[in-house]
Structure 1
Amino acid sequence: MASDPSGDPVPNPHATEAEVEAARSDPKLANVLYHDWEADTYDEKWSISYDERCIDYAVGRFRAVAGDAEWPYQKAMELGSGTGFFLLNLMQGGVIKQGSVTDLSPGMVQVALRNAAQLGLDVDGRVADAERIPYDDDTFDLVVGHAVLHHIPDVPAAFREVLRVLKPGGRFVFAGEPTRIGDRYARKLGQLTWWLTTNVTKLPPLAAWRRPQSELDESSRAAALEAIVDLHTFDPAELERVVRDAGATDVRAVTEELAAALFGWPVRTFEAAVPQEKLTLGWRLFAYKAWLRLSWLDEKVLSRIAPRQVFYNVLVTGTKP
């Protein structure tokens, strides 16, 4: 694999057929290929931004599980950073002063560093395996991650590494992980929405709403790779036990998004199945405001009466002794 002057591998956004075939039995290679391929369009696909909307979302997720008594953290690392969504928005929200991004995908590290530079944030980055983090013991005050744990083959090993690179008393916060039950209904809703949208738009009156077949085929291939890179779902209580067994203290897991997930997954799938120019500002505002209202319902009402394991997202925090 080629590498850049820093010694890190360079992105490979156009994998060969042989590499894709090899990735079917190698989840780490699958993660690299899939996320290198996604890197330049990832923020657009998931409506990621670095403005007030996503700053509020990131800080809200952090506060939901960890509170804010220890802010700001001087030095933080994001594990499996992707394009830097969680770390960079936490920095803009005043939670973190200085950051490092790490990801198994060279393409994602490249985009995260580019985003940080555009925002004027103090961030460095490394291509890194979560099970062998390339930083010294006791380096960081905080380690964060968003939607990363379910991609890591050996989650207990990753938590041992997280605790190793944290300073004594340092905290970790991971958010955006799928629960076992939530993943089941989200996938079913996504599959049904994809089937309905791609078939209904075959009708002549709706032809303008159908994405070109080449793009649909590409999305289908991405979905196939996604099935390989998504390795785990989590029961909140079991996740707490895994984290404690790795050596963490003050461990706490919380869940969120039930009504919001039942609405959000069909919306995201529909958006992936139609031409992007059809998704007007009015549509995006409708989807975002509806998600906010349903998130309020989840937090204020459903969280008090529904078991935590039926919500879609689990968040977990803890500290190093």
Structure 2
Amino acid sequence: MTGTTDPTPNPHASAEQVAAAWQDPKLANVLYHDWEAGSYDQKWSISYDERCITYATDRFRAVAGETGWPYGHALELGSGTGFFLLNLMQGGVISKGSVTDLSPGMVEVALRNAEHLGLDVDGRVADAERIPYDDDTFDLVVGHAVLHHIPDVPAALREVLRVLKPGGRFVFAGEPTKVGDFYARKLGQLTWWLSTTITKLPALSSWRRPQQELDESSRAAALEAVVDLHTFDPSQLERMALGAGAVDVRAVTEELTAALFGWPVRTFEAAVPQGKLGFGWAMFAYRSWQRLSWLDEKVLSKVVPRELFYNVLITGTKPEGPVSL
């Protein structure tokens, strides 16, 4: 259960709050993710079935291998709706879980998802730079697409090492590289413009989302300029982890052709009415992404510099002795 002092979700921020968020990245993260919490899984095609179980466990395995499975107690930092932790639990990587997020709405949804799945999970609304758990609590700390939202990443990594047990591991996935973020954003912007422009034609009007929904998506997207604080060079991220006191640090990258395909697809899906594309489209998109991911991993990763891929994943462990900073 969440702590009794945790704030309640605020999915309908006032204009004054949104204006203030432009000067306060943490407030922006709370407002943006509370706003998105109820529809986040649908927006990003998140599920808790074999498809996303395989995705989560493959990401974990790619950077950290299979040693240590199952981890006894794991924390997900910046959990969102619980996508990474809950699917790792279902995949046999983790036995017991805890979720934290700066957004009360996301923690609420994550705990509801865990309850529906029958998983042993508790949660707290928490700042990643001040994790509200004792030293040496967790066997594993995980996160997916979270580090780039945190103002002080080195401070968060030091907190991660503090709450890990000696020898405990952290795994962060889904972080944008500098180059990957550039081309993903450009592709997303172009796709959004094309989709919302073409569907103004009378013959395609049934493919246009209601203007109010488009306006809300645009306002939410505008806040991404505030909540997305960092992009990473893989070597830079490794140095951050080492500087925080971690050992056995390793970063890998993934998704090149898969990202060039995936970002336009996801943007197009957000621009058309919900349910318009149907199951056939979903399977086409997923199978295409799978094939391109295989190409990226098995072929391109051997010849293309890792800095050019879209996602960076990083792992490391807490030293068995005291952490030296």
Fold equivalence (TM over 0.5)? yes
Q: Select the residue among 70, 76, 79 that pairs with 1:78.
A: 76
Alignment of 1:250-269 (within 5 A): 250-269=248-267
- CA positional deviation for 1:227: 1.4
What do residues 246-275 of structure 1 show as CA deviations (whole Å, max 9, x unaligned)? 000000000000000000000000000011
Counterpart residue type for residue 255 of structure 2: E
Q: Match for residue 310 of structure 2?
A: 312
| Cα RMSD after superposing both structures | 0.7
Q: Match for residue 176 of structure 1?
A: 174
Q: Select the residue among 243, 246, 251 that pairs with 2:244.
A: 246
Q: Match for residue 12 of structure 1?
A: 10
Alignment of 1:202-217 (within 5 A): 202-217=200-215
- CA positional deviation for 1:5: 6.8
Alignment of 1:154-193 (within 5 A): 154-193=152-191
Q: Match for residue 303 of structure 1?
A: 301
What do residues 178-213 of structure 1 show as CA deviations (whole Å, max 9, x unaligned)? 000000000000000001111011111111111111
Q: Match for residue 42 of structure 2?
A: 44
Alignment of 1:140-159 (within 5 A): 140-159=138-157
SS of the residue 1:277 aligns to: coil
What do residues 111-156 of structure 1 show as CA deviations (whole Å, max 9, x unaligned)? 0000000000000000000000000000000000000000000000
Counterpart residue type for residue 148 of structure 2: H
Counterpart residue type for residue 101 of structure 2: D
- CA positional deviation for 1:277: 2.4
SS of the residue 1:276 aligns to: coil
Consecutive unaligned residues in structure 2, runs of 5 or more: 320-325
What do residues 198-247 of structure 1 show as CA deviations (whole Å, max 9, x unaligned)? 10111111111111111111110010011110000000000000110000
- CA positional deviation for 1:276: 1.3
Contact 2:3 2:124 in 1 (8 A): no
SS of the residue 1:275 aligns to: coil
Alignment of 1:125-144 (within 5 A): 125-144=123-142
How many residues end up aligned between the 2 structures? 318
- CA positional deviation for 1:176: 0.2
SS of the residue 2:275 aligns to: helix
SS of the residue 2:316 aligns to: strand
Q: Match for residue 283 of structure 1?
A: 281
Alignment of 1:196-235 (within 5 A): 196-235=194-233
Q: Distance in 1 between matches of 2:141 and 2:3?
A: 26
Divergent runs of 4+, >2 A: none
Q: Select the residue among 110, 113, 116 that pairs with 1:115.
A: 113
Counterpart residue type for residue 235 of structure 2: A
Consecutive unaligned residues in structure 1, runs of 5 or more: none
Counterpart residue type for residue 195 of structure 1: W
- CA positional deviation for 1:295: 0.4
Counterpart residue type for residue 271 of structure 2: A
SS of the residue 1:317 aligns to: strand
Counterpart residue type for residue 299 of structure 1: E
Counterpart residue type for residue 162 of structure 1: V
SS of the residue 1:175 aligns to: strand
Q: Distance in 1 between matches of 2:274 and 2:105?
A: 23
Q: Distance in 1 between matches of 2:185 and 2:263?
A: 8
Q: Distance in 2 between matches of 1:227 and 1:80?
A: 18
